[in-house]
Structure 1
Amino acid sequence: MNLQDTIDKNNLPRHLAIIMDGNGRWAKQQGFLRAFGHESGSKSVKEIIKTSAKLGIEYLTLYAFSTENWNRPKLEVDTLMKILVNALKKELPTLQNNNIRLNTIGNLDKMPQSTQRELLDVIEKTKDNTRMTLTLALSYGSREELISVVKDISNKVKNNIISIDSIDDSIINEHLYTHNLPDVDLLIRTSGEHRISNFLLWQIAYAELYFTDILWPDFKEQDLYEAIISYQKRERRFGKTSEQIK
């Protein structure tokens, strides 16, 4: 039986997030430069986006470039930016044909102007698509995001726009980069690393975590099915007991 046939379409993660790790190690194993790993990883990105939309997942968030990634060698950073721009141009028809809306989170002001222009162009052209929201986390760091939230809320308290007593989960959510997205249900990390790496720390409070040794360029459709099947076998209690859930 095909793995896809065993998936319960009524119990899908509404919001799937993925830390796409292992491009560099994959390239090294193949005897190639790291850039080749990033190029190969972009093929997995396309496959996982199409598979997620096909399954019926509403929100897919991909950790594409972290705030810490700016510390990598300039040549690698420049290569990543070039791959991103080329992918956006090339895959716009795929997004349109699959009714997928593009969204971004992170400090985009740090991105090259050419990258920003391409991003905004694709975001504008796909804004009315409704099948799935694809979010690229670019120049993103969760600690930076939370610092920004604290500053924004503090400024509003200082100017009597909101009161300290009114601050709750919903107020914080409204000030996050992800204010238009639901909390993450399933977080996948490839490459065998068991870390969150400063990704969506607030938003994954009750997410199910799935770690796989597969390097990102080798992560394909069937691997996503396995992750979702694992997710569907788990009991999500959100602090309640099993008896309460049942």
Structure 2
Amino acid sequence: MARASSNEGRGPLYRLYINRLRRRLDPETVPRHVAMMIDGNRRWARQLGFDSASHGHRAGAAKMREFLRWCDDVGIGVVSLYLLSNDNLVKRDSRELSDLIEIIAELADELSHERDWRVKHVGRSAALPAELARVLADAEERTRDHPGLHVNLAVGYGGRGEIVDAVRSIIAKHDREGGSLEELAASLTPEQIGEHLYTGGQPDPDLVIRTSGEQRLSDFLLWQSAHSEFYFVEALGPDLREVDFLRAIRDFASRDRRFGS
């Protein structure tokens, strides 16, 4: 597990370094799927003296638009963004949660008009406010046939809940087909569960990135990240820079992936 800090400036030398990092990336070693846990938005707002965490969440949303462009530019095919967990829905201050829901709705709508990206909501729509669920569904429908970067928006999401939903879906399908419980128990496989996850049909994340120095999964893509590589960035979410991202991709390319050994 690597950690990265963010200290350099943004002048001409910085741009030269960015361009050199980009040129040295081998398309064959770029991850197919990157999962991003943007963290530290509230701390960012507090450190800058803002009276509301919403300033940090808005800055974090703007950074996620940047981050997706960086991913698209280096040829990554799928990106999953952890925006709002099931725990957030019940534990966050009501005013902060209201602001965050509005910011996520705006972000989802904006992303559905960005380049040729395909937006998909992963999470429980029934747990969300009706307007947010509608915006996410509209963004998904609007981009359904887009061929570009596949963007998963994890909103009202929990990894344990996702696995429960997948198992329920398998049981319901098996019941509709008239199978017995004994047959289901004998036929159940990890691949079958994977097909019924919110991300069914997608490659599992090769690389999981988390900002703000925190080193935990927080119930994000628990099943899918079984063999993922992890990269932890010290920068708070809104302070993430392209150089931090490119270093993460470079570090990933240098690793010897053992897939469980």
Q: Tell me the TM-score normalized by structure 2.
A: 0.86
1:40-189 pair list within 5 angstroms: 40-70=59-89, 71-94=91-114, 98-156=115-173, 159-160=178-179, 163-189=184-210
Instruction: Report the aligned-residue RMSD.
Output: 1.6
Q: What is the CA deviation profile of residues 139-175 of structure 1, one whole-angstrom value per residue up to 9, with x for unaligned ones?
A: 0000111122233334555651753211111111122
The structural deviation recorded for 1:114 is 1.3
1:204-219 pair list within 5 angstroms: 204-219=225-240
Cα distance in 1 for partners of 2:189, 2:107 equals 39
The AA in structure 2 aligned to 1:41 is: G
Larger CA deviation: 202-211 vs 111-120: 111-120
Q: Aligned residue pairs: how many?
A: 237
Indicate conservation of the 8 Å contact 1:47/1:220, yes or no: no
Cα distance in 1 for partners of 2:110, 2:186 equals 49
Q: Sequence identity, in percent?
A: 37
Match of 2:4 in 1: none
Classify the secondary structure of the residue corresponding to 1:64: strand
Indicate conservation of the 8 Å contact 2:111/2:119, yes or no: no
Gaps of 5+ in 1: 241-246
2:38 to 3, 20, 29: 20
Cα distance in 2 for partners of 1:187, 1:85 equals 24
The structural deviation recorded for 1:109 is 1.1
Match of 1:243 in 2: none
Cα distance in 2 for partners of 1:83, 1:76 equals 11
The AA in structure 2 aligned to 1:201 is: L
Larger CA deviation: 57-66 vs 149-158: 149-158
The AA in structure 2 aligned to 1:22 is: G
Residues 156 and 88 of structure 1: is their aligned pair in 2 closer, same or farther, counting only changes over 3 Å? Answer: closer
Cα distance in 2 for partners of 1:85, 1:157 equals 36
